[in-house]
Structure 1
Amino acid sequence: MTATDTPVRRALLVVDVQNDFVEGGSLAVTGGRDVASRITAHLAARAGDYVAVVASRDWHDAGSTNGGHFAEPGAEPDFVTSWPVHCVHDDAGSDFAPELALDHVTHHVRKGRGEAAYSAFEGVTDTGQHLVDLLRSHDVTEVDVVGLATDHCVRATALDARRHDLGTRLLAGLHAGVAPGSTEAALIEMRAAGVEVVEP
């Protein structure tokens, strides 16, 4: 390493591994529970690789469309900009999936109170700190991204990480998408933005 090299300091971003996004939830992703278990195994083996492990959650308001993110009562969601009710804060659907062990999680961020939110970078900690500032406070230079769903919140999180000039890897097998076509499109977009897709 030369004097101008910056040592790698890596964080793991665990995106929205919540009950409503795994099998049995209101917006279930096929394979979601298996992904949760795989992330748990990855952390059991590799937690020491990370200076921070950040878990994000959708955290929407009850009795609200959350800025149009939920379809209006009686209306059908379009599954593009409007969705069924999901991850209402303090409801069971917003809890982490039970297959995800939280032992190694060092920080939590919540996103979407009263508004649409996809990227974990839109989230804040309990103290109101934004994710990018949290990562900067730990001198993070690179992130690994895992979670649900590949074609929505994982995609948005990985793209935002690149926008913040973080080296970004998507860990194969530790994410799952809603649909094959949109998942493949998301992978193409992420790779074009400089996201590496690597084996964990």
Structure 2
Amino acid sequence: MTRALLIVDVQNDFTEGGALGVDGGAAVASGISALLANAGDRYAAVFASRDWHDATGDNGGHFATDGAPDFVSTWPVHCVAGTAGADYHPDLDASRVTTHIRKGQGEPAYSAFQGTTDDGSTLRDALAEHGVTELDVAGIATDYCVRASVLDALDDGLAVTVIEDLVAGVADESSRAALEEMASRGARLGTSDSVLRG
């Protein structure tokens, strides 16, 4: 069994003070760095996704450019390619990331599986290349991009663990519902301590 870590969208715009900042986002960033410092050798690879939206246009209706966002399918401008908001949060040790994934380039994209690596491969291809069968998932936001990424990983037959203390969501109720849905679909809900224990 080959195990990898997927870090979902730990970016400045999704952490406190960002365009779509969630409470606990900075703590997730530092917590993931601590996990990698203490248990990074448990992972054959570390994948990290980022929203990487076009600066012009509405990115396929993802940005609310003609009215107020509904915060369900339309959003304020965020994570524009090449801006500080699209950068990884400074408390995330990105030097430990082996594969970077950009998603949403001109279109809505929630799952990391909708993105591409620097060489144009899909996350699915990259996971297969590394022989990954087990995937731990951490990041932002529990109720949107983490959820979508986990469900796609499960659909691909991967054994998935959501690291509950290393995710942060937009809202408590929808985050709880997302965790319940992921568990009902077969994801394990674990903690960073359980990862450290092996």
TM-score, normalising length: structure 1:
0.95
Secondary structure of the corresponding residue to residue 53 of structure 1 = strand
Instruction: Give the letter for the 2:16 counterpart.
Output: E
What is the match of residue 92 of structure 2?
100
Q: Secondary structure at the match of 1:90?
A: coil
Q: Deviations over 1:51-108 (max 9, x none)?
A: 11001000000121000000124x0000010000000000110000001011211110
Matches within 5 A, 1:15-164: 15-73=8-66, 75-164=67-156
Q: Aligned letter for 1:13? A: L
- The alignment-based identity, stated in percent, is 56
Q: How many residues align?
A: 192
Match of 1:4 in 2: none
Q: Equivalent residue of 2:100, what SS?
A: strand
AA partner of residue 93 (structure 1): G
Provide structure 1 residue ranges, at least 5 long, that are not aligned to the other structure.
1-7
TM-score, normalising length: structure 2: 0.96
Distance 2:53 2:115 in 1: 12
Aligned mates of 1:174, 1:184 — CA distance in 2: 14
| Higher helix residue share | 2
Amino acid corresponding to residue 102 of structure 2 in structure 1: R
Q: Which has the larger radius of gyration?
A: 1
